[in-house]
Amino acid sequence: MPTGISGITPTLIRQKIKQRRRRKAEIRNMVHQENGIRQYAVIFLPYLWMLLFFLLPFLIIFKISFSVTEIAIPPYSPLVSFVDGAMQILLHLENYTNIFTDEDGTYLRSYLKSVQVASFSTLFCLIIGYPIAWALATCKNTTRNVMFMLIIMPSWTSFVVRIYAWMTIMKKDGLINDILMALGIIDEPLHMLQTDFAVYVGIVYCYLPYMVLPLFAALMKVDYTLIEAAYDLGCRPIKTFFNSLIPQTKSGIVAGSMLVFIPALGEYVIPELLGGKDSILIGRILWQEFFNNRDWPLASAVAITMLAILAIPIVWFFNAQRKSRERV
């Protein structure tokens, strides 16, 4: 039996190694179990929150959308009823068919209009927000703080108050008309309120920060040597912007666009206060069906359809996110 220095034999070493392996495995298991419990504990509360205040109301609305109106409290027919000891589940699909086969196409038109308004608002936010985010990302730290304050401070006052402020700015004898007339640029006041223009102004104004912040985050991570590389290889500035900067900030563009598009699609307050009679957006339809017509089932169906429309960009968004994660 070969004996090593100070009596350390190969068998002893082997035993020691085995011991150490066992101890390491034990520790690993412990850590895993503890982590497991803690992980669930951390996730549980937000899950519960989403379950109670998002999924449950959604399911209720989904249920209502399959019933018909009744003069009762609540004002819709029950889904499940017992007739002669038999359980009946009545799924009325006419709410959905109504939406698509409505004679004057009010619903479809308002959907299209909403998608149009939300899309253009998102585009305007992107065009206005990108330079702002760029300025934020490239300026000095002290200037950046001031700029951040300027972007965030308006949201310290109520959303509705700010929209009312825009009403006074854009009305016939409002700030803009007064100034333009005083300067002699126009002779009679411009009609701005109750137009699509006013709706766009309101939406872009309100949702701009939601576009700027993700863009800023993306721009902070930009590898500027890639821009230099593009220049170096003969790419002109405007092309470099599309070739190098846009691909690098894609995640920010997508996130910002989602944050603007999704709430803008169902926007109710801004078109109601700033929009004209003809700018019937889906948010308004929802309101009318729920509160003026008290047709809860139809209103629910309208809401569910809107959600389905929103699902398309959301799924796209998650796909884009997954792809960008895979790349890293």
Partner 1 sequence: MTENTENTKQPLPQKQQHRPGELPGWKASPVSQNKKPILQIKGLTKQFGNFNAVDKVDLTVYEGEIFALLGSSGCGKSTLLRMLAGFEQPTYGKIILDGEDIVDDPPYRRNINMMFQSYALFPYMTVKQNIAFGLKQEHMPKAQIEERVQKMLKLVHMENYVDRKPHQLSGGQRQRVALARSLAKEPRLLLLDEPMGALDKKLREQMRLELVDIINSVGVTCLMVTHDQEEAMTMADRIAIMDRGEFVQVGGPREIYENPNCRFSAEFIGSVNLFDCTLVSSNTTQSIIKASDFHHPIELSHDLDLADGMPLSIAIRPEKIYISKERPAEETNWCEGDVENIAYLGDISIYYVKLTDGRIVSSTLPNVDRFKTGLPTWEDHVYLSWDPESCIALTI
Query: In sequence order, what are the beta bridge partners of 173?
Result: none
**Residue 22 vs 236, nearer CB to partner 1:** 236
Residue type for 163, please? Answer: I
Q: Is 244 in the site for partner 1 (CB under 8 A)?
A: yes
Site string for partner 1, 189-228 (x = CB under 8 A): ----------------------------------x-xx-x
- Establish whether the linkage from the previous residue to 75 is cis, with ω within 30° of 0: no
> Binding partner 1 by CB under 8 A: which of 234, 278, 308, 325?
234
Q: Which residue from 239, 242, 311, 319 is in contact with partner 1, where contact means CB under 8 A?
A: 239
Query: Does 140 help bind partner 1 (rule: CB under 8 A)?
Result: no
Selected from 193, 204, 230, 259, the binder of partner 1 by CB under 8 A is 230
Question: Of 245-304, which residues contact partner 1 (CB under 8 A)?
Answer: 247-248
- Beta partners for 80? 89
First to last CA, the chain: 54
Two structure tokens written together for 215:
């863009």
One of 8, 56, 160, 229 touching partner 1 (CB under 8 A): 229
**Alpha-carbon gap, residue 3 to 18, rounded angstroms:** 20
Per CB under 8 A, the list member of 45, 185, 312, 328 interacting with partner 1 is 328
Could you tell me how many residues of this chain bind partner 1 (CB under 8 A)? 21
Q: Give the nearer residue to partner 1 in terms of CB position, either 85 or 234.
A: 234
Distance CA 72, CA 68 (A): 11
Question: What is the C-alpha to C-alpha distance for residues 281 and 317, in angstroms, rounded to an integer?
Answer: 24
Phi-psi region of 252 (alpha: psi -120 to 50; beta: other; left: phi over 0): alpha
The structure tokens listed for 271 are: 């078109």
Interface ranges with partner 1 (CB under 8 A):
223, 225-226, 228-237, 239-240, 243-244, 247-248, 327-328
